[in-house]
């Protein structure tokens, strides 16, 4: 099978229907390639009742969309198959409200399409084909557009239901065309939706920035416009504007365009390509042997130079591994993962390629997850006995500690102010930030500008074209992160004393490792002594996005947060807006109706507070949590132990229903750990659904089998290492130095087995 990228560049989307017959492995199948200039299209699978066809619908501004059907009918295709296919089109294909084009190899020579009859001198095969099958297209109100097929053996035909088209047969090129399948160009003028815009976009050339100038601009700036205002929103907006203006003056902009050549093509190679194309055009026009010889010379030169340039580029990456490691790892990343800027989606049968449409599709999906309702009656909660958390004044030390925690090269928010600019100008910005932070606490609100977030879709697993297989991660403004670091520092110590000790997620001095060690420390001795442990793994659907703000604030109040803190967190959570970012493209804004920002500093802490009450509902079993990953387990000696574990399952289900959390029954699993031959099997239920029993489970990255032999985990690690070694072999195919191979081995393979 020929791969799509061997035939078409990345600027095309290829739709294909390959021959599935085991008896005929040669030939057959159809392929349709759509240029990126067509921003959206829809594959019409409802029309593809025949194996070797592809139907595509392209939207137009006049709402009379174009439908193209590409076909191949082999000479030995049964008559009833073709007849049934066209009869199905009569019922499904709307030729009145759509422009329709049917193209393909019909293998029906010698047929007079003007009169709907086979010509007298054609053989019985062609006559049978025409009379029995293809005249049914007349019922679709289509006309055959290729002239003079009665006197030739032309097998490729074009049917349309409109007259605004132009069909031309190009002159013969270097390769002599097939007599039966000459190349043709069908020109159709259409008012397409959203024509492709200029692909250029600007970016900051940080490497060329004058940071001394930036520092001086900010140091000489009149910050009285911030100190004199009592409005939190005005103060935050003026701070951002001052920094952005300074960056505009000190950091130049660059422009990126999509080059038709890879960046490693040398100037000589590009010159040879231009000369080759020039002499090819001259040869097609004049048909001169000398022009063809010159073209052939440059074609061979281009092929040889491509090999030389690529090898030189790879050798430079290898040689500069220590001095320019970023270039090396960018090359490695091209083998390992797909860029987030090349996401394509299928939504309601529509294939989305354009970045803006993809971003808006993600925005619509992420907004649909939010929970706009809140429980009518809040559950009664016992107040904390460890004292109240009150708003504390912000000091200079708090600001500098927060700035020190900023990651200098992390992604920027919608304000495009990077962290390293804030860190480099910390002595100038710290007093201004302290003033704004103090103002927000005194007014118990949060700046609207800092509540705007860029959301990046992160692929989880499954089909990459489904929006359901992505989770939203918020990229916040760095000023917002600073404030969250300050608040987190103020409350995290007290909250650690109040949170359940079985919560290991986003907790200082705890991690997935401590979670697993605690878990295995309990079940390993029991399994080794021929006893039994049943464990149930729960999956909470979109836990970060479903937290109702009102109920969370109620729980914070019961947790010991003062009224001032609760009001401030209310301002932090409500009226937030997000935009999905795909590359340099930003979606339309959408309102965040519930949940805590996934990717923020305070979000995980607030989620831990919210689900902390879940632990109180579990009465009979042990449990461990890692953020929203929940696991309960119990030693099983008799059926009564199973009943007690089932009772805790019911309690967890009741708590989730009362707290607007959704349990995914399909992903909830039960596993029995035991080395006994005969152990007690109990049918645990989640509401009316039987919990799926499994004999191996992936627990926080480690595969645990029912006998704790860890065979599945070893096989998984071995498989991953073999895959990585294969990638390393592909990467280093043209490398000869041992240093490159060792670097890749230690980075991609060895860390997996340690």
Residues 228-247: tens digit of each pLDDT: 999 999 999 999 989 988 99
Judged against a pLDDT cut of 50, whether residue 735 lies above it is answered with yes
Q: What local confidence, expressed as pLDDT, does residue 401 receive?
A: 94
Judged against a pLDDT cut of 50, whether residue 126 lies above it is answered with no
Judged against a pLDDT cut of 90, whether residue 754 lies above it is answered with no
Under the banding of pLDDT at 50, 70 and 90, the label for residue 304 is very high
Helices (H), 529-638: 543-546, 549-558, 563-573, 603-617
Say which residue, 69 or 379, is predicted with more confidence. 69
Q: Pull the structure tokens for residue 674.
A: 């035991």
- How does pLDDT run across 4-49, given as a tens digit for each residue? 445 566 567 777 777 765 455 566 778 888 876 675 677 777 788 7
Judged against a pLDDT cut of 70, whether residue 198 lies above it is answered with no
Helices (H), 287-425: 289-319, 325-336, 355-369, 396-405, 419-424
Q: What local confidence, expressed as pLDDT, does residue 644 receive?
A: 95
- How does pLDDT run across 557-579, given as a tens digit for each residue? 988 899 999 999 999 999 999 98
Q: Measure Cα distances from 7 to 43, 270, 287 in Å.
A: 20, 21, 27
| Partner residues linked to 156 by β-bridges | 105
| Of 154, 533, 548, 559, residue with least CA distance to 372 | 548
- How does pLDDT run across 158-193, given as a tens digit for each residue? 888 888 888 887 766 656 777 777 788 888 877 765
Q: Residue holding tokens 């409200």? A: 97
**pTM of the predicted structure, to 2 decimals:** 0.68
Q: Pull the structure tokens for residue 237.
A: 């907006």
Mean pLDDT in residue range 529-558: 92
The SS3 of residue 175 is coil
Mean pLDDT in residue range 215-222: 94
Q: How is domain 4-188 classified at the architecture level of CATH?
A: 4-Layer Sandwich (3.60)
| Of 725, 693, 424, 325, residue with least CA distance to 534 | 693
Q: What local confidence, expressed as pLDDT, does residue 608 receive?
A: 92
Q: What local confidence, expressed as pLDDT, does residue 118 receive?
A: 60
DSSP 746: I
Say which residue, 215 or 391, is predicted with more confidence. 215
What is the residue-averaged pLDDT of the chain?
84
Mean pLDDT in residue range 463-467: 87
Say which residue, 252 or 20, is predicted with more confidence. 252
Mean pLDDT in residue range 691-713: 93
């Amino acid at each position: 099978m020929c791969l799509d990228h061997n035939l078409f560049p990345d600027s095309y989307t290829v739709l294909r229907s390959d021959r599935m017959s085991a008896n005929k492995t040669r030939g057959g199948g159809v392929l349709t390639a759509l240029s990126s200039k067509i921003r959206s299209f829809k594959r019409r699978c409802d029309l593809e009742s025949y194996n070797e066809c592809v139907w595509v619908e392209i939207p137009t501004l006049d709402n009379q969309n174009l439908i193209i059907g590409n076909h191949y009918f082999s000479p030995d295709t049964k008559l009833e198959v073709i007849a049934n296919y066209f009869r199905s089109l009569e019922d499904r294909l709307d030729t009145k409200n759509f422009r329709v084009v049917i193209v393909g190899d019909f293998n029906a020579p010698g047929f007079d399409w003007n009169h709907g009859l086979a010509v007298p001198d054609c053989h019985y095969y062609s006559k049978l084909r025409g009379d029995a099958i293809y005249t049914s297209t007349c019922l679709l109100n289509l006309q055959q557009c290729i002239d003079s097929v009665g006197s030739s053996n032309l097998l490729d035909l074009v049917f349309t239901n409109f007259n605004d088209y132009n069909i031309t047969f190009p002159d013969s090129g270097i390769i002599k065309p097939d007599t039966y399948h000459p190349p043709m160009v069908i020109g159709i003028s259409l008012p397409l939706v959203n024509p492709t815009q200029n692909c250029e976009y600007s970016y900051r050339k940080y490497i060329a920035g004058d940071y001394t100038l930036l520092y001086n601009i900010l140091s000489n700036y009149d910050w009285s416009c911030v100190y004199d205002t009592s409005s939190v929103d005005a103060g935050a907006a003026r701070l951002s504007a001052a920094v952005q203006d300074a960056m505009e003056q000190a950091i130049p902009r660059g422009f990126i365009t999509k080059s038709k050549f890879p960046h490693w093509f040398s100037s000589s190679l590009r010159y040879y390509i231009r000369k080759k194309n020039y002499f090819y055009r001259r040869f097609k026009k004049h048909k001169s042997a000398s022009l063809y010889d010159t073209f052939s010379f440059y074609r061979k030169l281009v092929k040889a130079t491509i090999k030389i340039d690529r090898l030189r580029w790879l050798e430079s990456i290898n040689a500069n591994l220590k001095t320019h490691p970023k270039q090396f790892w960018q090359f490695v990343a091209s083998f390992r993962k797909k860029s987030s800027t090349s996401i394509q989606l299928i939504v309601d049968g529509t294939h989305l390629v354009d970045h803006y449409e993809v971003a808006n599709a993600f925005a619509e999906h992420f907004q649909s997850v939010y929970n706009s309702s809140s429980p009518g009656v809040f559950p009664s909660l016992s107040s904390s006995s460890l004292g109240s958390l009150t708003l504390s004044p912000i000091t200079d030390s708090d600001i500098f500690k927060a700035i020190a925690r900023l990651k200098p090269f992390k992604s920027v928010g919608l304000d495009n102010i990077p962290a390293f600019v804030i860190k480099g100008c910390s002595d100038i910005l710290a007093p201004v930030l302290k003033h704004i932070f103090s103002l927000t606490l005194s007014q118990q609100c949060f700046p609207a500008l800092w509540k705007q977030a860029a959301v990046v879709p992160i692929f989880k697993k499954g089909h990459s074209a489904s929006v359901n297989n992505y989770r939203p991660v918020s990229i916040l403004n760095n000023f917002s992160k600073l404030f969250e670091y300050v608040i987190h520092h103020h409350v995290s110590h007290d909250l650690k004393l109040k949170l359940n000790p079985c919560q290991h997620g986003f907790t200082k001095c705890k991690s997935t490792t401590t979670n697993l060690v605690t878990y295995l420390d309990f079940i390993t001795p029991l399994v080794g002594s021929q006893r039994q442990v049943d464990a149930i793994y729960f999956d909470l659907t979109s836990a970060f996005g479903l937290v109702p703000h009102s109920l969370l604030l109620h729980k914070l109040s019961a947790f010991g947060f003062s009224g001032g803190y609760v009001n401030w967190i209310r301002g932090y959570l409500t009226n937030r807006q997000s935009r999905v970012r795909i590359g340099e493209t930003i979606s339309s804004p959408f309102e965040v109706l519930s949940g805590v920002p996934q990717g923020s500093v305070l979000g995980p802490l607030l989620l831990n507070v919210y689900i902390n009450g879940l632990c109180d509902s579990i009465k009979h079993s042990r449990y461990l949590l890692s953020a929203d990953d929940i696991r309960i387990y119990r030693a099983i000696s008799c059926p009564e132990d199973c009943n007690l574990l089932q009772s805790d399952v019911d309690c967890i289900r009741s708590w989730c229903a009362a707290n607007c959390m959704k349990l995914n029954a399909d992903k909830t699993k039960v596993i029995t750990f035991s080395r006994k031959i005969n152990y007690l099997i109990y049918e645990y239920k989640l509401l009316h659904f039987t919990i799926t029993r499994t004999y191996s489970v992936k627990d926080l990255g480690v595969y645990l089998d029912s006998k704790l032999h860890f065979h599945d985990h070893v096989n998984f690690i071995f498989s991953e290492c073999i895959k990585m070694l294969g990638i390393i072999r592909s990467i280093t195919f043209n490398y000869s130095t041992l240093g490159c191979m060792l670097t890749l081995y230690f980075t991609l393979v060895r860390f997996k087995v340690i």
